[in-house]
Chains A and B, each alone.
Chain A
């Protein structure tokens, strides 16, 4: 079993979806520093994806510093994985794009969107306190 799940959506690249799923798992704490990350073979077999794609995913995550290779152990989540702000922001880009597209369809302005986000933000953070 993989430590994270991916609901594949048609239309998006397999590579992009798996990288996104893995990043989300790391950023959200589902995968913690020093946790083992699935091997290329496991990713390929469990997700039924092309092994070349699985390899590309792991390489990209290593390049970004989210994973590290420990000799004799394998690939693990990097010790200080706290991704920088731009990286975390990028994880939101799909959702942002969807909101913007919907807003345009409804002929709203940027101000309408930002104030709606601000309101929702306040409601939710207030509820937390």
Chain B
């Protein structure tokens, strides 16, 4: 696995507050990587540190093998960055803005740019300040796609976009990955909109990385489990917290429910039987990325699961 992004013990503090804590993040080249986590988990700060917009308090970060604090024009000509609150030269028309960007990037692909302009239905003669939020985001994306960057970094690109604009935005992203050499990093607090796109996820929680792995592996090891207990046995709560791998445990009348984060049919069944020898039936169902994300967010690793 070739890493296009790598951080080692990255820390970032705003005053006394730790926004990013001992972060060791690796993004494999050729992946569509989602950086997930609740609001305030440190996603935006991490991406800003990677783009050398903010300087880390300590630790190291590398993008395309270059320490982020030494990223210069040569690297930025191969990186596209679009953030939720991107500042655009509002007084410019779309056309003037694109011409301006074009001059900055030797690899600018004029044909690709016109194709995307048409696909995004961007009015070249309108001023940026006259555009809707969705249109502005599309203009920002276009200006970052047209030079065919090797690495595209998108910070909450979908927030506030209507479904149609979101669809067009995703098509534009996928048009880039026609080429062989690309990686996309997307941060989001809601995975639903990119669930089918991403093949790697990193989950940030309170500035630290809780997990970082291929989506396929994640979906393999997470299962929602429901156990039907012998009739007549009514429990109010589990006798003790069984396993750290079990999230969101609840017992209601005859059923025990939890999310198994290290699912292996035999092992999961054995553990259930151990605690509830009268377990009648153990059902497991696969979970969507979104459900996994919600279960993780609901059960922070740092806090005790006992209620």
> Residues of A with Cβ closer than 8 Å to B?
8, 10-15, 41, 44-45, 47-53, 101, 104-105
**Quick check: A48 and B170 within 8 Å, CB to CB?**
yes
Point out the residues of chain A lying under 8 angstroms from B287, CB to CB. Answer: 11
Interface size, B (range): 20 to 34
Q: Report A39 CB to chain B, min CB distance, Å.
A: 10
How many angstroms between the C-alpha atoms of A49 and B167 in the bound complex?
Answer: 12
The A/B interface has a contact count, at CB < 8 Å, of 46
| For the complex of A and B, 10 pairs with smallest distance between CB atoms | A10-B288, A11-B286, A11-B288, A50-B199, A49-B196, A14-B196, A51-B177, A45-B174, A50-B32, A50-B197
**Quick check: A48 and B199 within 8 Å, CB to CB?**
no
How many angstroms between the C-alpha atoms of A32 and B261 in the bound complex?
Answer: 42
User: If the complex has contacts A41-B178, A48-B196, are A11 and B30 also in contact, measured as CB distance less than 8 A?
Assistant: no
Point out the residues of chain B lying under 8 angstroms from A12, CB to CB. Answer: 286
**Quick check: B31 and A52 within 8 Å, CB to CB?**
yes
Point out the residues of chain A lying under 8 angstroms from B167, CB to CB. Answer: 48
How many angstroms between the C-alpha atoms of A105 and B174 in the bound complex?
Answer: 44
Q: Report B280 CB to chain A, min CB distance, Å.
A: 10
**Quick check: A48 and B31 within 8 Å, CB to CB?**
no
Q: Mark B6-47, 1 if CB is under 8 A from A, else 0.
A: 000000000000000000000000111000000000000000
A sample of 15 inter-chain contacts (CB < 8 A) reads: A10-B195, A10-B288, A10-B291, A11-B285, A11-B287, A12-B286, A13-B215, A44-B174, A45-B175, A48-B171, A48-B174, A50-B32, A50-B197, A51-B174, A52-B199
Point out the residues of chain A lying under 8 angstroms from B175, CB to CB. Answer: 45
**Quick check: A13 and B219 within 8 Å, CB to CB?**
yes
Q: Report A32 CB to chain B, min CB distance, Å.
A: 28
Q: Report A94 CB to chain B, min CB distance, Å.
A: 11
Whether, in the assembled complex, B216 has its beta carbon less than 8 Å from a beta carbon of chain A, the answer is yes
Which residue in chain B gives the minimum CB-CB distance to A40?
A: B178
User: If the complex has contacts A10-B290, A11-B287, are A50 and B198 also in contact, measured as CB distance less than 8 A?
Assistant: yes
